[in-house]
Amino acid sequence: MTTYRSFINGEWLRSSSGKTAPNINPANADDIIGTAELATREEARRAVDSAYNAFRDWRRTPAPARGRIVAKAARLMEDRKEDLAAAITREEGKTLAEARGELTRAINVVEFCAGESRRLVGETIPSELPSNFAYTIKGPHGVVACITPWNFPVAIPAWKIAPALVAGNSVVFKPATLTPATAVMLTEIFIEAGLPTGVLNLVLGSGSEAGDEILNHPAVKAVSFTGSTETGLKIYAQVAPRGVKVQAEMGGKNPVVILEDCNMELAVESTAQGAFGSTGQRCTATSRAVVIDSVADEFVKKIVARAKTFRLGPGDEASSEIGPAVDESQFNTVLKYIDIAREDGAELLCGGKRAEGDGLENGYFFEPTVFDRVTTDMRIAQEEVFGPVLAVLRVKNYEEAMTVANDSQYGLSSSIFTSDTNMVYRFVDDIETGMTHINSPTTGGEAHVPFGGTKNTGLGAREQGSTALDFYCELKVVYVDYTGRKREGNLY
Ligand code: ADP
């Protein structure tokens, strides 16, 4: 059995805490994969100290040289793609196909960020005075804390660590306690790619102790967080008094809007993939279907039929289409929401219980679930479940559909199914989400395209794409006067 350790100041640390966390395969709770040693508060502080000491030289390393190391990390990820995919599947539970998809995205993002190291350009701006001009340069903040969840245990850390490093920051990486194996593998890859000592530190530990200690360290100048809205807003408030920059990607309650003139087969299949794929454990998962009354019966009948056809099973079996919930606690959260939805008066059409048979009892498998006749005042319409659960809300017309779709504290992703181009563009104007999809699932994205949400989903600059480095850079403005004499007049 493997022991996972924090990586601090160039060394794998034997924690003095005596506290450990088991790494359990959610498809088979008897399969204990390894044990993570959880860092103490003092060890977490040392990780930030180490990043702070390494920052001085790292920021002076030319950006393209930093990019070369990040590019090497992308190549190593490619070389170890199958090992990484197997590790994701074993500790997070998603299917191998989904794990490979996550890795493709992760490698693409890291490659993209490496390329950005040669484009860390500023602008030159002509002055209103003769023989004067201004220009801008981009520099790093200092130590950046990357705090990440378990659902994309390689891609999310990769899309934070790579741009942070390219911009010249040093990093303290605090992954979710549930996924230590992939966090260690990703750290090894960046270290092997040639990062100097201390530039990247890994802290395995709980959010409430190790995470808290990292955030309270005065050397941390920026925090990039992905996880629940509750934790993200708490972190934001915690570091605000120090003026620490925060980028946070948080919860979602992503709607699909289904109009009368849609291609119904496409709408049903895309909604099913968005709602049940990756066990619903994606921040972009479809959790609400807002359907025009006249086609609602047809939609409901077809989505229920489709929900029943998914093959549940361990992610490492080729026949499995949906893996388990990540752990017992997440499984119980899904169960809790089934009760809440029923008590609130939603109509359970399928699923709603643990999946059994064929050895599924050993894992946290949950049947794809559809609730009909959900209304916006029900908790199942407002709160993120993070499981394979779809709420159907029936509406009279497009206007009501948009009121319902936008009645959410979240604003990550959405989609519309219609064959009317005019309605597509009305929808794009009206929907209050950071990303939207036309006639395709709410999930999925590309490495070179910005990613993020509005409202209580997103804080700070968008991740990835043309905006990937914005959060990690400070902009410095330089005024140059080459007249060699006292300025005539003033600039205001
Ligand atoms: P999830 O349900 O995905 O675990 P959380 O928001 O609880 O979502 O956790 C996301 C990440 O934030 C994890 O790495 C977790 O350990 C960390 N975390 C949780 N609470 C805190 C905290 N108070 N301070 C710092 N990090 C935290």
C-beta separation of 346 from 371 below 8 A: yes
Ligand 1 mean position to 228 CA, how many Å? 7
CATH of the domain at 398: 3.40.309.10
- Report DSSP letters for 268-330, one per residue: HHHHHHHHHGGGG-STT-EEEEEEEHHHHHHHHHHHHHHHTT--B--TTSTT-SB---SSHHH
Stated as kind and residue range, the H or E segment containing 479 is strand 473-481
What pLDDT score was predicted for residue 126?
Answer: 97
Let me know whether 217 and 285 are in one domain: no
Q: What is the pLDDT of residue 150?
A: 98
Query: Based on the domain organization, do 243 and 259 belong to the same domain?
Result: no
Q: Do 312 and 276 lie in a common domain?
A: yes
Q: Does 490 fall in a domain?
A: no
> Are 213 and 337 found together in one domain?
no
Tell me, yes or no, whether 113 and 136 share the same domain.
yes
**Atom 8 in ligand 1: residue holding the nearest Cα:** 227
Comparing C-alpha atoms, which of 255, 244, 231 is closest to residue 382? 255
- Which amino acids bring their CB within 6 angstroms of ligand 1? 147-150, 174-177, 207-208, 211-212, 215, 227-228, 231, 234-235
Is there a single domain that holds both residue 217 and residue 297? no
Verify whether residue 249 is a known catalytic residue: yes
Q: Are 204 and 177 within 8 A, CB to CB?
A: yes
Any idea which residue has 């990769």 for tokens? 158
DSSP secondary structure of 127-144: -SSTTEEEEEEEEE-SEE
Distance 484 CA to ligand 1 centre (A): 55
Q: Is residue 447 part of a domain?
A: no
Q: What is the CATH number of the domain that holds 118?
A: 3.40.605.10
Q: Are residues 88 and 224 in the same domain?
A: yes
Instruction: Indicate whether 349 belongs to any domain.
Output: yes
What are the residues facing 348 on neighbouring strands?
Answer: 371
**Is residue 268 a part of any domain in this protein?**
yes
What amino acid is encoded at 396 in this protein? K
Q: 482 lies in a domain?
A: no
In a domain, 107, yes or no: yes
The catalytic residue among 116, 249, 384, 463 is: 249
Residues 299 and 268: beta-carbon distance below 8 Å:
yes
Residue 33 lies in a domain: yes
Query: Cα separations (Å) of 112 from 37, 99, 381, 470?
Result: 33, 20, 37, 14
Report pLDDT for 1: 82
Cα dihedral angle (300, 306, 309, 315), rounded to 10 degrees? Answer: -110
The whole-angstrom separation of Cα 176 and Cα 148 is: 6
Specify the residue with its C-alpha closest to ligand 1, atom 18: 207
Q: Which two tokens stand for residue 333?
A: 């959260």
Residue 319, domain extent: 254-438
Residues 7 and 73 in one domain: yes
Is 213 found in the same domain as 268?
no
Mutate to test the pocket of ligand 1, among 38, 144, 147, 283 (most ligand atoms within 8 A of CB): 147
CA of 163 to the centre of ligand 1 (A): 21
Mutational test site, ligand 1, from 230, 231, 236, 326, max ligand atoms within 8 Å of CB: 231
CA of 64 to the centre of ligand 1 (A): 33
The 3-state DSSP class for residue 27 equals coil
- 420 vs 265, 414, 426, 432, CA distance in Å? 16, 17, 10, 20
Q: Could you tell me if residue 448 is inside a domain?
A: no
Ligand 1, atom 9, residue with closest C-alpha = 227
**pLDDT averaged over 10-residue windows placed end to end, the chain, 492 residues:** 96 97 98 98 98 98 98 98 98 98 98 98 96 97 98 98 98 98 98 98 98 98 98 98 98 98 98 98 98 98 98 98 98 98 98 95 98 98 98 98 98 98 98 98 96 97 96 98 89 78
Phi, psi of 466 (to 5 degrees): -65, -20
CA atoms within 13 A on the CB side of 320: 24
Task: State yes or no: is 146 an active-site residue.
Answer: no
Vertex 329: Cα angle to 327 and 335 (nearest 5): 105
Residues 374, 406, single domain; the answer is: yes
Number of domains in the chain: 2
CB crowding 354-393: b at 16 or more within 10 Å, else e: bbeeeebeebbbbbbbbbbebebebebbebbbbbbbbbbb
Distance 244 CA to ligand 1 centre (A): 18
How far apart CA 110 and CA 241 sit, in angstroms, is: 32
Q: Which residue, among 158, 161, 69, has the nearest Cα to 117 in the 3D structure? A: 69
Do 336 and 352 share a structural domain?
yes
**Ligand 1 centroid to 227 CA: how many Å?**
6
Ligand 1 atom closest to Cα of 206?
16
Q: What is the pTM of this model?
A: 0.97
Residues 172, 258: one domain? no
